[in-house]
Amino acid sequence: MRIEETRLDSGRPEARRPVGMTLPDGEEKPAVRIAAGEPLRVIPTEEFREILGQARREDRTYLMEHESKEILEAMGISTTGCLVAGSEDEAAGMARTVGYPVALKIVSPDVVHKSDSGGVRLNLNRPDEVRDAYREIVGAYRYQHVVGVSVQKMAAPGVEAIIGVTRDPNFGPVLMFGLGGIFVEVLKDVTFRILPVTGQDVEEMIGEIKGYPLLKGYRGRSVDLAALKNLLLRISDLVTAFPEIRELDLNPVFLYSTGNCVVDARMFIGEAAAKIAAKPATDLKGLFYPRSIAVIGASSAQGKLGYNVLRNLLDHGFAGRIYPVNAKHPVLQGVPAYPSITDVPDEVDVAIVIVPAEVAPAAIEACCKKGVRFIVVETAGFAEMGDAGKKAQARIREIIETHGCRLLGPNCSGVINTHHRMVQSIGLMEELEKGNIGMVAQAGVYAAGILTGLRQVMDFGIVATIGNKMDISETDILEFLGKDRNIDVIAMYMEDVTSGRRFVDVARAVTAVKPIIALKSGRTEAGKKAVSSHTASLAGNDEINAAAFRQSGIIRARDNEHLFGLMKAFAKQPLPPGDGVLVVTYTGSLGVAATDTLYLNGLRLAELEPELQNRLLRILPDYVNTLNPVDYSFSMEPDQLRKTIQIGVESGDVGSFIVVIQGEILGSFVDVLQSIDYRGKPLLCCVACKEFMMEDVIRMEKAGVPVYSTVEMAAEALAAMRRYRLYRERLLQ
């Protein structure tokens, strides 16, 4: 690559000329646009390091436009080029070479937002206009460090897009794509993905923006989607290869029917974040299925947390060995106790620490010396309490890293595994049935409240609370639950994600085999981001979290009620094999409401085959004239419902059922609905005001039929199940 130099008449520092354009005394060679299917080029390491070195020598935190475009063109990305003029005569000569019309832009390390500060002149068509514009720009910035004025050929109009990269403190580099102009300025029609991205990620990004119809084709115009996909993949490769790129803006990018072209580009640089060495993979089976548990801080005094933890292990019949540890009492709740963990004669798989925070580090160190592999710290008073707590937590980290132990917490409520009869909770828990739901909760009290309230209608297999997640994270537990054969559905209550890209990779692997439903709190917290780039200003915390969930196939719940509704649907019913739904109701108004919600969520009313329509007509009362929704108008009886559902089961167009039942007669339908062979088609039930007839609702839920207060909630749950089935099927293609 030939690098040319030019100086301003004032002798200011030299400016590099990027590839893609020739000097005024040479023949014009416009940059070639990216062709669809062209393989990605070798990363331009030499060019980037040279430009980065120059920026650092000048103490700059961003690359000027001509530097950014040089890197992009070395990647095979088409730009409008960028010749830097040091005088008005040189600018006029460059304009003649590249061909009118041209644009002039200020080139200065002191000017980041050129358009906002009057540093851009567009659509210049004559030499005198170029000279005037040059003088105006240089004069306007006479008090700044001006390298020169760039001369660029005006790009042919196309569909305007914006592409950018920003850095998220948890997930690292994040790619943004959207349509430009009013779409980004007013509508904020952009989407994000965590880098690096795959071809499938990019295709989903392009397809999910509201302006996608403009890209796919509108009034005979369309853009080269293959070239756009190629461009996004190249940006992913570039930023992944060079972590010094902190932010990047390509705005605008013109998309054409063949290829695309970057009109303006900025890159912000910094020190590359140090790579944190990943911990060796740990099999967490010993944490969730231990053979022995020690309770450090166990007590016989009711009301103390140490009493509750030991009581739960005993009452729920933990089959392994239990070792209470208390220096003052030889026997606790009828179980022999030991003054120290080191006095326990046998091996200990898990130690639960429930002693005051000031003595917890010593207790943890004793556990490590004993050879305990997993330590659960339910004690609070660490990083969540301020600087002193953070120092104590840092001390604990040093201890476990020195000894190679793994730690859950601190400030958690332990693990519950109904398949192992193990309840470590700090709150007393009543009897729990074995279940197929695995839950990861950042807040222990939250998880305890869920179990207390929902155990009547949902059965949990494993509940893991992670607290401050100093060591074992939500991703570690998610990875384990993904492999546990007792767990079919995973639910997550999350306040933040600390394991970044690994979370996305693990979640994507898990969602290929079982659904993950997540409730992320803190959605409205303002992102603490620098707004030097347009991308960073658009990428709030919640947008990044939503992108990570979409990228990994996680189903996002909007609130707790939505979370619980999705959990029980996925846990109790099979995934719909088709998008047609048969709605059976006792009132037409709820049938209409169900229909609206189905169509708004990508489902539809099923159409029965002619022979099945005739069979259904023989069942229906004379005054019923609709076959879907089937409206029995307060006359529905259990046998009618059974026959109606059996007809739907035989239909090839019916993939699922919504049944609306009167609450006062709900109990008479339980046995009927439980006895039907649905042949893999899910059924969800709606009972208006179900809170006032919970005894029968619980009976129905125990029979395996989820019950919802509204048809809208039932229809949304079915739609989520159908989307997840389609997601799984796409992965298998």
Distance (Å, whole) CA 235 – CA 75: 9
Query: Residue 339 pLDDT > 50, yes or no?
Result: yes
Alpha-carbon distance values, 50 to 6, 47, 182 (Å): 17, 5, 37
DSSP string, 469-524: -SSS-HHHHHHHHHH-TT-SEEEEEES---SHHHHHHHHHHHHTTS-EEEEE--TT
Q: For the segment 54-102, what is each residue's pLDDT rounded down to a tens digit?
A: 999 999 998 999 999 999 999 999 999 989 999 999 999 999 999 999 9
Alpha-carbon distance values, 588 to 425, 567, 584, 593, 669 (Å): 47, 28, 10, 9, 20
Question: Dihedral of CA 325/331/332/335: which sign?
Answer: positive
In the chain, the largest separation of any two C-alpha atoms, in whole Å, equals 99
Residue 679, number of CB atoms within 10 A of its CB: 9
Q: For the segment 436-468, what is each residue's pLDDT rounded down to a tens digit?
A: 999 999 876 677 777 777 888 899 999 999 999
Is residue 327 within 8 Å of residue 360, measured between CB atoms?
Answer: no
User: What pLDDT was estimated at residue 634?
Assistant: 78
Query: Residue 24 pLDDT > 80, yes or no?
Result: no
Peptide bond preceding 252 in cis form (omega within 30 of 0)? yes
Query: Residue 5 pLDDT > 50, yes or no?
Result: no
Q: For the segment 203-224, what is each residue's pLDDT rounded down to a tens digit?
A: 999 999 999 998 998 877 889 9
Rg of the chain in Å (alpha carbons): 32
Burial of residue 391, with CB atoms counted within 10 A of its CB: 0-12 exposed, 13-18 middle, 19 or more buried: exposed
User: What pLDDT was estimated at residue 223?
Assistant: 94
Query: Residue 50 pLDDT > 90, yes or no?
Result: yes
User: What pLDDT was estimated at residue 386?
Assistant: 83
User: What pLDDT was estimated at residue 272?
Assistant: 82
Return the percentage of the chain with pLDDT > 70, whole number: 89
User: What pLDDT was estimated at residue 3?
Assistant: 29
User: What pLDDT was estimated at residue 222?
Assistant: 87
Report angle CA 64, 68, 73 to the nearest 5 degrees.
Answer: 150
Model confidence at 527, pLDDT cuts 50, 70, 90, reads very low
Distance (Å, whole) CA 125 – CA 593: 61
User: What pLDDT was estimated at residue 635?
Assistant: 82
User: What pLDDT was estimated at residue 535?
Assistant: 44
Q: Which CATH class is domain 159-269?
A: alpha beta
User: What pLDDT was estimated at residue 273?
Assistant: 73
| CATH domain 574-732 topology | Rossmann fold (3.40.50)
Q: At a CB cut-off of 8 Å and minimum separation 6, what does 129 contact? A: none
Q: At a CB cut-off of 8 Å and minimum separation 6, what does 399 contact? A: 361, 364, 365, 368, 405
Same topology between domain 5-153 and domain 574-732: no
User: What pLDDT was estimated at residue 536?
Assistant: 47
User: What pLDDT was estimated at residue 622?
Assistant: 83
User: What pLDDT was estimated at residue 522?
Assistant: 67
Q: For the segment 666-685, what is each residue's pLDDT rounded down to a tens digit?
A: 999 999 999 999 999 999 99
Report the mean per-residue pLDDT for the chain.
Answer: 88
- In this structure, of 442-451, 616-625, 637-646, the range with the lowest mean pLDDT score is 442-451
Two tokens, residue 393: 């937590």
Model confidence at 553, pLDDT cuts 50, 70, 90, reads very high
Please report where in the chains the tokens 């005006």 appear, as a residue: 154
Q: Which CATH architecture describes the domain 5-153?
A: 2-Layer Sandwich (3.30)
Is residue 261 within 8 Å of residue 254, measured between CB atoms?
Answer: yes
Query: Residue 498 pLDDT > 70, yes or no?
Result: yes
Alpha-carbon distance values, 634 to 622, 648, 658 (Å): 14, 21, 16
User: What pLDDT was estimated at residue 277?
Assistant: 57
Is residue 40 within 8 Å of residue 89, measured between CB atoms?
Answer: no
Two tokens, residue 408: 């859950």
Is residue 202 within 8 Å of residue 229, measured between CB atoms?
Answer: yes
Query: Residue 617 pLDDT > 50, yes or no?
Result: yes
Q: DSSP code of 354?
A: -
Model confidence at 628, pLDDT cuts 50, 70, 90, reads very high
User: What pLDDT was estimated at residue 388?
Assistant: 86
User: What pLDDT was estimated at residue 10?
Assistant: 36
Model confidence at 538, pLDDT cuts 50, 70, 90, reads low
Rounded to an integer, the average pLDDT of 401-417 is 95
Q: For the segment 342-380, what is each residue's pLDDT rounded down to a tens digit?
A: 999 999 999 999 999 999 999 999 999 999 999 999 998
Distance (Å, whole) CA 203 – CA 298: 55
Alpha-carbon distance values, 232 to 70, 190, 435, 528 (Å): 17, 14, 43, 26
Q: DSSP code of 486?
A: T
Give the residue from 291, 244, 234 showing the smallest Cα distance to 269. 244
Q: At a CB cut-off of 8 Å and minimum separation 6, what does 724 contact? A: 511, 515, 553, 555, 570, 575
Domain spans in the chain, listed from the N-terminal domain onward: 5-153, 159-269, 574-732
User: What pLDDT was estimated at residue 42?
Assistant: 64
User: What pLDDT was estimated at residue 602?
Assistant: 97
Peptide bond preceding 410 in cis form (omega within 30 of 0)? yes
Residue 268, number of CB atoms within 10 A of its CB: 24
Model confidence at 732, pLDDT cuts 50, 70, 90, reads confident
Is residue 396 within 8 Å of residue 364, measured between CB atoms?
Answer: yes
Model confidence at 44, pLDDT cuts 50, 70, 90, reads confident
Give the residue from 92, 123, 120 showing the smallest Cα distance to 106. 120
Q: DSSP code of 221?
A: B
Q: DSSP code of 411?
A: S
Rounded to an integer, the average pLDDT of 271-283 is 70
Distance (Å, whole) CA 548 – CA 192: 8
Query: Residue 573 pLDDT > 60, yes or no?
Result: yes
User: What pLDDT was estimated at residue 17?
Assistant: 38
